[in-house]
Structure 1
Amino acid sequence: MNYNGLLTTFPKEIRLFIAVFVVILSIGFFTGLLFVKQTDSETPAGVEENYLGNEQDVDATIMKFKKGDREMLTIVHTHILSMSFVFFLLGGLVWITRFPKKWKLFLTIEPFLSVLLTFGGIYLMWKGILWLKYVVVFSGILMTITFTFSALLVFIQCFRSQK
């Protein structure tokens, strides 16, 4: 079965439906990034402080405490489940765009690795493996780039019809 470019053969109403879905999905994804920025978690030091607290820092303007067991399990559990669904749905749409197969493979597999490295890394950092804060930031950036590129690819191709 040839699925490369299948999206452009869909009726315009279905392509509009998919485009609106990608816009709403993107609003949700980027709202999450605003939360990351709000908690100063976009740097390795910020990630560490957000999950392990800053009680020892006498110069801290905002006091943060180490997250508890239940809170960490809830964060990791909900993010891994929800992000898996997000990337599964977006990945399915990527596969029906017109784009090179090797790039599609990267765009659809990499986010799952980034989800695992980001949220697994957060959990393991919280458990004491502090160098994982760098992996968390790198994988989070890569996940965001991959999401953005995939969403744009699908969105743009929703407005191209096959001649």
Structure 2
Amino acid sequence: MQINGVIVTLPKEIKLLIGIFIVVLSIGFYTGLLFVGETSSANPNGIEEQYLGNEHDEDVEVMRFKKSEQEMLRLVHNHVLSMAIIFFLLGVLVAITKLPNKFKLFLMVEPFFSVVFTFGGLYLLWNGMLWMKYIVMISGILMTLTFTLSVFIVLYQLFQKKPV
């Protein structure tokens, strides 16, 4: 079964449904990024402080305490499950776009690795592997870039005219 480029041949009602889904999904995704920016200053030291606390520094504006194991397990569990569903659904949509196969495969598979490295890395950081804050930052950036590129490709191809 050939699925490369099927997205442009879908009925307009399905295209509208997919388009609305992608927009709402993106609002949720980018709102989460705003939250990350607010809580961790979007830098490696801010990430470390968010999960390991800063109570040793008396001059901080906002006092943070080390997350409990229950909080960390809940965070990892919730994010891995929800991101797996998000990237599976987005991957299915990328699968029906018209792209070179290797590039398409990268967009479909990479986010799953980034999810594991990002949220597994947060847990390892919390357990004392302080260098994981850099892995978390890099994998989070890569996950965001992949998400953004996939969304743009799906939306662009979604509203192309059907070939005659």
**Shared fold (TM-score, shorter chain, > 0.5):** yes
RMSD: 0.7
Q: Which residue of 2 aligns with 1:152?
A: 152
Match of 1:48 in 2: 48
Match of 2:35 in 1: 35
Report the counterpart of residue 115 of structure 1 in structure 2.
115
Q: SS at the partner of 1:2? A: coil
Q: Secondary structure at the match of 2:40?
A: coil
- Report the count of equivalent residues: 163
Code of the aligned partner of 1:20: I
CA 1:90–1:141 in structure 2 vs 1: closer, same or farther (change >3 Å)? Answer: same
Rounded Cα–Cα distance in structure 2 between residues aligned with 1:36 and 1:117: 16
**Whole-angstrom distance in 2 between the partners of 1:41 and 1:76:** 20
What TM-score, normalized to structure 2?
Answer: 0.98
Q: CA deviation at 1:47?
A: 0.4
- The corresponding residue for 2:76 is 76
* Structure 1 residue ranges (4+ consecutive) displaced by more than 4 angstroms after TM superposition: none
- Measured against aligned partners, the alpha-carbon deviations of 1:52-98 in whole angstroms (never above 9, x if no partner) come to 00011121111000000111100000000000000000000000001
For 1:41 and 1:94, the matched residues in 2 are separated by: 31
Q: Does the 8 A contact of 1:125 with 1:131 survive in 2?
A: yes
Please give the secondary structure, in 2, of the residue aligned with 1:116. helix
Q: Which runs of 5+ in 1 are unaligned?
A: none
Hey, what's the Cα distance between the residues in 2 that align with 1:117 and 1:41?
20
Q: Percent identity?
A: 58
> Superposed, which structure 2 residues align to 1:1-163 within 5 Å?
1-163=1-163
Q: Point out which structure has higher relative CO (alpha carbons under 8 A, 6+ apart).
A: 1
8 A contact 1:117–1:139 mirrored in 2? yes
